[in-house]
Amino acid sequence: MGSNNKVIFELGELFSGPGGLALGAINAKIENNRQFFSLRHKWANDIDKNTCETYRKNICPDSEKSVICGDIRKLNIKSLPKIDAFAFGFPCNDFSIVGEHKGINGNYGPLYSYGVQILNTFRPKFFVAENVKGITSANEGQAFKIILEELSTAGNGYNLNVHLYKFEDYGVPQKRHRIIIVGIDKNLGKFFRVPAPITKNKHIPVKNIIEDLINKSNIPNHELTIQSKKVIERLKYIKPGKNVWNSELPEHLRLNVKGAKLSQIYRRLHPDEPAYTITGSGGGGTHGYHYQENRALTNRERARIQTFPDNFEFYGSKESVRRQIGMAVSPKIAQIIFESILKTFAGINYKYVESNYEFFQNNLFNIQKTG
């Protein structure tokens, strides 16, 4: 934890991704009455080789072995160094709005339970968990209730704060909405509050973030995608903010798709609004498209929209990097969350809003488990 005037929380991570949560954590620093509060990376785990390499090079270049790359189901949790802070953006594949909503019964759903094991093993003073909004409706809402109950009763027990954050309200130039759960050890008698939005009535336009990249080429991960002539021609008919379905295209450029028509197919950004959600997928016209140029976004443009700094270099193929960026937690929102946690421990008041998921917190212990 540190000396009398320095309180340093040692952070462990599961499903760490390329380091969005970690970057926000290590950038979070709070001072109160000459007492300094901060976080320090201790260890991290992810299954993807390129993702682990990105994390190592950017977050912990001096302790690369602290990133354990491999399947979490084979991870020896008891062998990990002690931590007093924990973060995990557990896989959302089975909780996403796009998909079959398998929830807790899917291949990925039960992986949250490894986070519960960490809480039971190390009893960290606090944890941060992140997931998609779809988690709240998986299995008709039962999966989320079970997850919350298990998190709240793990370790010494945790006071939970559950909130759906709209990232564009927090200075992120992207309409990205995620559930973030913060738990603080009940023995400490502290309660996390949702930090008040800072850009709710003045969202950051995407052009403010990526416009200067149009004529730059010497920045990491800024390679242009080679577009086919047909894609270039199709984009010429799509105006900023529009997609392939609500644009007037000649017959030969239309898509012959029946059933669900995803709104992000060949959808261009609108320069005067935040970007729509940057995702890890990229097939079938879902790369995200520039508002001015007839092309897909570069990975550096995506990274900026996700609030990664230009000196944060991603490793792996262009497709791997796109996936890493889309799956990452925005470092900016992560820093705001961690700074608010540090303020809670430091006894510093800050502007906050009420959680929009009080229902779950009030009903946690009335849950009837099935099965």
Residues 6+ apart with CB under 8 A from 165: 177, 178, 179, 180, 194, 333
Q: Quick one: CA torsion of 197, 8, 153, 147, rounded to 10 degrees?
A: 50
The DSSP line for 147-169 is HHHHHHHSTT-EEEEEEEEEGGG
| CB-based contact 18:315 (threshold 8 Å) | no
Q: Which two tokens stand for residue 70?
A: 């491999």
Distances (CA, A) of 47 to 71, 114, 209, 296: 5, 14, 31, 28
- The letter for the amino acid at 354 is E
Long-range contacts of residues 93-98, Cβ cutoff 8 Å, at least 24 apart: 94/138, 95/131, 95/132, 95/134, 95/135, 95/138, 95/143, 96/132, 96/134, 97/132, 97/133, 97/134, 98/262
As annotated, the active-site residues are 92
Which segments within the chain are labelled E, that is strand? 6-14, 29-32, 35-46, 67-69, 85-88, 126-132, 158-166, 177-185, 194-195, 352-353
